[in-house]
Structure 1
Amino acid sequence: MNILQSIKMSWKSIMGSKIRSFLTMLGIIIGVSSVITLVSVGQGTTSSITKSLEGLGTNLLTVNIMGRGNTTSLSYEEAMELGNIDGVEAVSPVISGSVTAKRGTTNDTISVEGIAPSYEDVQDFHVQSGRYIVDLDIEYRMKVALIGTETATTYFGTDNPVGQTIQLNGTSFKIIGLLESKGSSMTASNDDKILIPINTAERFLQSGGVRSITVQVVSPDQISTVKADLEAALNKKFLNATNSYSIFNSQEMLDTLNSTTQLLSVALGGIAGISLLVGGIGIMNIMLVSVSERTREIGVRKAIGARKRDILLQFLVESTALSGIGGLIGVGLGYGFSALIGHFSTMTTSVSSSIVLISFGFSLFIGIVFGMIPANKAAKLRPIYALRTD
């Protein structure tokens, strides 16, 4: 008997018991769809976080100052002096706070950042209209502001905010520029804030100095060297006090994140893969029952000349077909579930073709392995005993 005949007989057997065949495939369907869905969520989340971190720049170091004793910050001048370190292209000190912004009847709390002109290039945050903050604005503590697109919509609607004023804690600030839209980061919206000169912010927000500095390095290859030089400069400033500052390297976090999420994806896939093993056991059990039910049929086939390998092939093809069809249905459901999660939630999903092929291939492997035992049992039946079975 050739392979084509085995396929025809297996298909006839599967279609002859549709409900039982579907229930047999159910474990494979759940397993394959679970693997694809869970891994796609893991990979999509990893991709989204990685994109956010890469958007910060892999050649950036973020310095956070906690201080020592009465010295809890750096002055603006001290922060800018860090730009003299070899390998540093630019530094961008920032003073942050929240204020009550008011215009007309609109009154709400808004995030405000005091910045230097270097913020534009270091943070890659430009204006779409108007001008940026310049050194003269800082020198003379000008009450001028750059406004984010979301904030502009809230307070000015569709009007052009450039040239107009807004009240911040009761003080009038003239808007000199409308920022480009940057979307949201991992923590907050980049478009719902106002930027003002850093010296103005220090007095206006009653800040004791600069506690956050972003350092742009000439090349990612120089990150380690520049970080060591920054540590030396800050240790000198804070007399080697422990926990007086921290330096955040986005590339190190990116590498750690990738390693962690890869392990997480593997773990999720492994957990879902258990369903495939359960599905394989289900196929084996049903096929064993099928062998028992079709013992007389096997006896008749052997009596008229069917060989051991013909019987083995028939049942093996049937178990493989069950797992293969279940795998295909599982792939379709996996794609569907991933699309639904991406559409109806904030999570990002990314279906990998390699994961689809691995999960489908594993479902076929499961069908072959767990189908071997019942197929072998059927092939070993002796015709005389099989024919005597009622």
Structure 2
Amino acid sequence: MFLQAVSLSFRALWRNKLRSCLTVLGIVIGVSSVIAVVVLGQGASRKLTGEVSSLGSNMIILTPEEEDGVGFAGETTNIVPFKNADVETLKREFPDCAGVAPVSEAAVVAVFGSENSRTAVTGTESSYFSIRKWDVSAGRVFSAQEERCGKPVCVIGEKLARTLFKSGDPIGASLRVDRFAYTVVGVLKSKGGSMVGKEQDDVILVPMKVFQRRISGKKDVDIILIGCATGQDSGSVKQLVREVMRERRPVPPGQSNSFTIEDMKEILRTIKKQTSIFTAFISAIAAISLLVGGIGIMNIMLVSVTERTREIGIRMAVGAQEGDILSQFLVEAVVLSLFGGLTGLLLGLGIPFFVTRYMSLPFVVDLRVVAASVLFSGLVGVVFGYFPARRAARMNPIDALRHE
């Protein structure tokens, strides 16, 4: 009986192909929009969290800015940079951590032969590489002795190596950075492009003493990185760091700390939460199309019932029961909505597939969302198709046969 109802439904829908296709358009748009938004949202979220993780997933970042970020009347407060003594204090207070690294940056022009490139130079220490889990693809990082002596050596990013040295070997070459020459001792492994506004592979890293002597001309430190050891609770370390820094940078009662501490794990959790909320919000808006599509199915089915009143009367006259008529029209509505759901599924996966390739995003498919969208489209057919089907099933056979 069910197969017969399905067969009758397909024949009825096939007789009005254009109207059937227009009817399911709302379902197609709704399902494809929801799936596409979720796929693109999860792909962007995974890429963004991956790039933030590449900065160092178990790391604490200290910046010399007030925690609220603004001063009186919304003006930015004066920033007092960290000093070398702050770094040494943190090293003594946290010997169990993976490392403490000072970081200072400046924009420079790097020159090798006839090639030149505007890039960023970072002054730091060898612990920086372990904190950020950044290995070299060739050569080595600068040694502790080179740091202490302030030797003019450098480690360069993979992109900068390609720009300046083409296919040549940069190890041991003399690279001019602004007015001074540095010996290249290593090339970093590529970390890829970035969505967070910074190209990680286009960089020069030099010992902090060299940076302060040749580039900045002062003993200030822009940022301090603290790497937590495996199994170490970053939240506890963050609290202890705050206490130590409050002693070194005291502030009057009632005022914000003159520094900011950020935990990369907290940043990652915040990014995931915000992208999930945004994706869910946009998906909810797109899902309104499913409601519109359901209303469209109900309207068309009501029109279909009116057009086929005489057919319904003939079927009842030859023995069709109320349940037979109900199932026929209900199956038609479900077939329409499921057809729209499957078509929307193909579009919802196909469009993001090409978009993610173009934008270099991961193609992430959540099977739960896919299944829920298709099942929901079927449910729309049941809910919005029931009233027209019930109306058809309750027709008086005599009145139906008299209908013109």
**TM-score, normalised with respect to structure 2:** 0.92
Which moved further from structure 2: 48-57 or 21-30?
48-57
Structure 2 residue 73 is the aligned partner of structure 1 residue 98: no
Spell out, residue by residue over 1:16-75, the C-alpha distance to the aligned partner (whole angstroms, 9 max, x if none): 1111111111111111111100111111111112222333333210111248x9992333
Q: Partner of 2:213: helix, strand, or coil?
A: helix
Q: Indicate yes or no: 2:273 matched with 1:264.
A: no
- Which consecutive unaligned segments of at least 5 residues does structure 2 have? 67-76
Offset of residue 115 of structure 1:
1.4
What residue is the counterpart of 1:75 in the other structure?
83
**C-alpha displacement of 1:94:** 1.1
Partner of 2:73: none
2:324 and 2:90 map into 1 onto residues whose CA distance is 80
Q: Aligned residue for 1:229? A: 240
Partner of 1:120: 129
2:318 to 304, 312, 317: 304
Alignment check: 8 A CA contact 2:330 2:382 kept: yes
The answer to whether 1:29 aligns with 2:28 is: yes
Whether the 8 Å CA contact 1:338–1:351 is kept in 2: the answer is no
How much has 1:213 moved relative to structure 2?
Answer: 1.0
SS in 2 for 1:163: coil
SS at match of 1:88: coil
More moved, 360-369 vs 87-96: 87-96
Tell me the alpha carbon deviations over residues 204-247 of structure 1, each in whole angstroms, 9 at most, x when there is no partner.
22244112111012245522221121111111111136341111
Structure 1 match to 2:403: 389
Please name the residue that 2:372 is paired with. 358
1:89 is displaced (CA, Å) by: 2.9
Stretch of structure 1 that moved more, 219-228 or 130-139: 219-228
- Matching of residue 198 in structure 1 with residue 212 in structure 2: no
Q: Which moved more, 1:203-212 or 1:188-197?
A: 203-212
Q: Counterparts of 1:225 and 1:280 in 2: how far apart (Å)?
A: 53
Matches within 5 A, 1:124-203: 124-185=133-194, 186-203=196-213
Q: Which residue of 1 aligns with 2:69?
A: none
Report if the CA contact (8 A) 1:83-1:89 is conserved. Answer: no
Matches within 5 A, 1:235-314: 235-240=246-251, 242-314=256-328
The answer on whether the counterparts of 2:56 and 2:133 sit within 8 Å (CA) in structure 1 is: no
Answer yes or no: is the 8 Å Cα contact 1:58–1:220 preserved in 2: no
Please name the residue that 1:315 is paired with: 329
Assess, with a 3 A threshold, how the Cα gap between structure 1 residues 195 and 297 changes in structure 2: closer, same or farther. Answer: same
Compared with structure 1, are the counterparts of its residues 310 and 71 closer, same or farther at alpha carbon in structure 2 (3 Å cutoff)? closer
- TM-score by length of structure 1 reads 0.95
**Contiguous gaps of at least 5 residues in structure 1:** none
The one-letter amino acid paired with 2:199 is S
Measured on the aligned residues, the alpha-carbon RMSD in Å equals 1.8
User: Conserved in 1, the CA contact under 8 Å of 2:90 and 2:100?
Assistant: yes
Aligned match of 2:13: 14
SS in 2 for 1:114: strand
1:379 CA displacement: 0.5
**CA distance in structure 2 between the aligned counterparts of 1:32 and 1:155, rounded to whole angstroms:** 49
For 1:138 and 1:264, the matched residues in 2 are separated by 46
**Is 1:59–1:220's contact at 8 Å kept on the other side of the alignment?**
no
Q: Which moved more, 1:378-387 or 1:227-236?
A: 227-236
> In the TM superposition, what is the alpha-carbon distance from 1:131 to its structure 2 partner?
2.5
